[in-house]
Structure 1
Amino acid sequence: MILYPAIDLKDGQCVRLLHGEMDKATVFGDDPAAQAAKFQAAGCEWIHLVDLNGAFAGLPVNAAAVEAILARVTVPCQLGGGIRDMATIAMWLEKGLARVILGTVAVENPALVREAARAFPGRVAVGIDARGGRVATKGWAEETDVLVTDLARSFEDAGVAAIIYTDILRDGAMQGPNLAATEALARAVTIPVIASGGVSSLADLIALRDTGVIAGAISGRALYDGAIDLTAAIEELRRVPR
């Protein structure tokens, strides 16, 4: 299972939100590229990036910070937030992103997800953010009646590289991931599922890995707070599940 350290970008800074609320942001640094370099030095295989302002605005806002990160590190990076048309998808992939994450458009324009996945095989992921099993969009500001599993299954034949599943009520709260819901989703689809939201300890990571069906986990606050040692966690996750 791959551990993706997260860099959430708000106004050019590294932050973490509580429950996805923009007014509950904790700033962890004003040099995102330096933070990315630290994660790479610690041995990470990927870096997960989120343009928080972009998620609300519907277009890239923290592009300068993302480009600085891409110029600084060699490990693959994936980005979500404000990516809602083919031109933006193509632009980011041309700039060096390994993968784009489509969230809001996966609900509002699923045909775009399919078109992008065909055009850029292996480089398009779907971000599914949920409260109580139902999908939220537009930076988590709007809730829908769409069920997580139904949305995920609708992309089974689309060729998407991964599903990033975030339980909003766990995000940034350091209370552990929603293990049951994440495992259930991973068992319901053949697309690799990456867990996000609440991953706050090595024990959380081991529990996700030991399901045998979850492909990755994203963690942010726990890495910044020191609750998870990135190098030690990566080494542990390479072990065979007990």
Structure 2
Amino acid sequence: MAEVLRGLERRDGTPQVADVTAAGASALGVDALAVSLRAGDGTEPLWCSDETSRRFEDLQFTLGEGPGPDTLRSGAMVLVPDLAQVRSDRWAALAEEATPVRAVFCFPMGIGAISVGVLTAVRRTPGALTTSQVGDALVLAAALTARLLGNGEPEATAASLDPPHTLHRAVVHQATGMLSVQLAVSLPQALLRLRAHAFSSGRPIADVCHDVVERRLRLEHDDNGTPPPHAEKD
């Protein structure tokens, strides 16, 4: 982990934060890490070390529940060594849909009362983190927060954070706006309809939103997604 942190402090562009998250997963003894930033009432994933972590972040977003959202709201760690053992009234749908993830560990990213985001570690097998691993994860979360905030140095701008070329959920925001206008509902209600359709259809929410934006899918007031009867014109 000391080597991971030294790499994160470098400003020459190598390694990038995406590389650091992959190395951090190995150092913490987990299968994958994800770094998500606060965006409104939810999060926007910036870096995921593999597809497993990205899918889990999407699942939490679709369901609107899970250890990540809980950490974002409370500002406290949420450590789940075995999702299968979580009581049914906590995250009922998440435990059933989270395959292949079995263990999740979420660490707050922030300064004082200011919440910046969440560092999420996932495992494909159940098992708790050791005290040392929890300590390392908290240090990594703090280091990532400092990197994202630029350490207060003018030259450390957002451009130094090697972000993805596009925000992962940009299409979700676009589809939410379109659906809000089409159905004359609020943005939160439109997002709930998109989430409900993604969950009921078993599809990633990003795929559903792409279809809405490209007008391949039209959601009606009854939440049933149907293809448009003909191509729509702007």
> Does TM, normalized by the shorter one, top 0.5?
no
Normalising by structure 1, what TM-score?
0.27
Query: More helix by proportion, 1 or 2?
Result: 2
Query: More strand by proportion, 1 or 2?
Result: 1
Normalising by structure 2, what TM-score?
0.28
Q: Which has the larger radius of gyration?
A: 2
